[in-house]
Structure 1
Amino acid sequence: MIALAHAVPVLADGTTGDVDSIRIAFNQEAMAILRIAIASILFGIALDTRVEDFRRAARRPGTVAIGVAAQFLVLPAITFVLTLALDVRGSVALGMILVACCPPGNVSNIVTHLARGDVALSVSMTAVGNLLAIILMPINFALWGSLHPTGGPMMRAIALDPVDMLIEVGLVIGLPFLVGVALADRFPQVSARASKVIAPAGFLLLGGLITIALANNLSLFLGYIGIVFLAVLLHDALALGLGYGIATVTRLPGRSRRAMTFEVGVRNAGLGLLLVFSYFAGLGGMALVAAWWGIWDIIVALAVAAWWRRRPTRDEPRPDAVLHT
């Protein structure tokens, strides 16, 4: 039995100095738990995904293509610009870029349902987004991270190999996702019941791990939260605003607009946190951004969903009639 309180060692450097020089170390037990948590979340998403979800996405290629472009092209690009505008430290910039490159999680499906949005579109986009992220996430991060004036030198110093990250992402999200989809197609009833347990258990495990990490490094967190709080607040608002804005400009119906907002705005920051510890030795700014984003993003998404739930749209639950080519 692993004692989680000892699985997340405290910071050795204390709370003084440059955020770029901070390292938060996870031992092997903690890293194994983190991988299990992320894989469980993706496996749970896949168990609740059907081949029909991909067929449904194929019937709405224009809408899905807009969402994919917003997530994997526009969001990383405007995140890069935001890091320059805020003039954040290199490690904070890399953390923001990494989170922007992460795929959506099924939290987006949950909040879309709470907001009375187009759940079918949300599920379809989550399925497509996680599948594409296996390839696009490492490429995106390597591109934008290396171009950053302060983050780029840190990446080159670490000598990050995009192929290594591709393998890690493939094993942590690709393999569980593909296996889960295959099982869901073969055993739909059992998979549907299992998904209601496995994904929430993964979120609880991830949440517990992040909570313990923050508790064990509370002085560090309080000492540097001012550096990342504003960056995460603006970044999260930008991501949600991008989803809503692009859905509005392309004249999606109200329910689809809500789904698009969450699909673009809600990111799987837990995966980003895993990569921070796997390839960046717990680099301070990156770890703080990913950990705080994972908490703040859910709080804001639930608040927006609750606000929208009291304001139901007049749209009929029909496929988008504007973008279907």
Structure 2
Amino acid sequence: MNPDEIILNFNPGMLVLLNVVLGLIMFGIALDTTVKDFAVVVRKPKPFVVAILAQLVVLPLVTFGLTLILPVSPSMALGMILVACCPPGNISQVLTHRSGGNVALSVSMTAVANVIYIFALPLSVAFWGSMHPTARGQLTAVELDPLSMLLDVFLIIGLPFVVGLFIRHRFERFALRVQPIVKWFSLLALVSFIVAALAGNWAFFIAFLGIILLVVTVHDAVALAIGYGTAVVGGLGTPERKAMTFEVGIRNAGLGLGLVFAFFGGLGGMAIVAGWWGIWDIIAGLIVAGLWVRRTKRRTGSPKGDASRHAAAGRPGADAGPGTGAEAAS
């Protein structure tokens, strides 16, 4: 069985529903995003510049190298590239909070990054995919037009985000009331879609379980290491390093899975990689955050050390709870 020849089972009705769910996810994220989130980046741009370079340049470049080293098929390689080019998953804020990192910075970076990725995602996938010696054949097979994908991504993801930002800015009380409803509804809808997609294609998933476990585990570990390493090279403090680790290491693979169905015809290798990424990076992130908490508690006697003073620089209550829209869509 060749993953490059597998087309996962889905129908046009499911695709329309998925597009609506993706739009709701971004709408929910925007409802929980404030002008202050962007202002933090303007006041202290260095961590954001380091983070965005790590995400837009370093992670896709290293991922490209991994696809040449690991024993992956062309469609799996394209799936790895797609995940690396996805925006950060919002569970990064939960993990940053749990590890005692700078939550305000995490919230701000995710908010700004989601805007940038509306435009950067399709262009990055097209660029790195077309450079790959084997995966570019998969791009040709699906006839991916980056400009057309850019327009579609804006309509499905960007427009709901912009509308959500407007509503949060002009009708804050209303936005705060409906955001939890939108968040949990879109989350449950996406989880239901992923479960249905896996259940309907279980034989394909099991057939490639071994290689997928290896590839995703290595790729995710490298992504987390890139986040931490670039923060160290950038001279950031410990709370900022924690935020960077999860901001770069946690990708919105649930969104990536949706894009596989929306733009790549449910291509098997891509969908299997993105689907397992969405599960594993949450597990890996919780493990890393837990180890960090234990280490910090051993050194300082407190599970969060002095991170609270850093979080106070952001919006009020930023480290009091997790926060935003597509938490399990990472």
TM-score when normalising by structure 2: 0.88
Maintained 8 Å contact 1:255/1:313: no
Q: Render the CA deviation track for 1:81-140: whole Å, top value 9, x for unaligned.
A: 000011411000000000100001321112212222111100110011100001111111
1:278 match? 262
Distance 2:172 2:118 in 1: 24
Match of 1:318 among 272, 294, 310: 310
**1:58-207 correspondence runs (5 A):** 58-207=42-191
Maintained 8 Å contact 1:24/1:283: yes
**1:289-308 correspondence runs (5 A):** 289-308=273-292
Maintained 8 Å contact 1:118/1:259: yes
Maintained 8 Å contact 1:36/1:202: no
- For the residue of structure 2 that corresponds to 1:318, the secondary structure is helix
Match of 2:228 among 244, 269, 286: 244
Give the aligned residue type for 1:43. F
Distance 2:289 2:99 in 1: 4
Distance 2:148 2:9 in 1: 20
Length, aligned pairs only: 305
Instruction: Classify 1:117/1:196 alpha carbon distance in 2 versus 1 (closer, same or farther; 3 Å).
Output: farther
* 1:70 to partner: Cα distance: 0.5
* 1:313 to partner: Cα distance: 5.1
Which stretches of structure 1, 4 residues or more, deviate above 4 A after TM superposition? none
- Unpaired runs of at least 5, structure 2: 297-302, 312-330
* 1:294 to partner: Cα distance: 0.8
Distance 1:111 1:189 in 2: 27
Distance 2:263 2:94 in 1: 31
1:49 match? 33
Distance 1:259 1:153 in 2: 37
Maintained 8 Å contact 1:80/1:148: yes
Instruction: Classify 1:257/1:43 alpha carbon distance in 2 versus 1 (closer, same or farther; 3 Å).
Output: same
Distance 1:109 1:175 in 2: 23
* 1:207 to partner: Cα distance: 1.2
Maintained 8 Å contact 1:254/1:313: no
Give the aligned residue type for 1:191. A
Maintained 8 Å contact 2:9/2:201: no
Q: Render the CA deviation track for 1:188-236: whole Å, top value 9, x for unaligned.
A: 2321232222123212211121112212222221111122221111111
2:208 match? 224
* 1:57 to partner: Cα distance: 0.8
2:326 match? none
30-39 or 91-100, which moves further after superposition?
30-39
What's the C-alpha RMSD, in Å, of the aligned pairs? Answer: 1.8
- Unpaired runs of at least 5, structure 1: 1-16, 320-325
2:248 match? 264
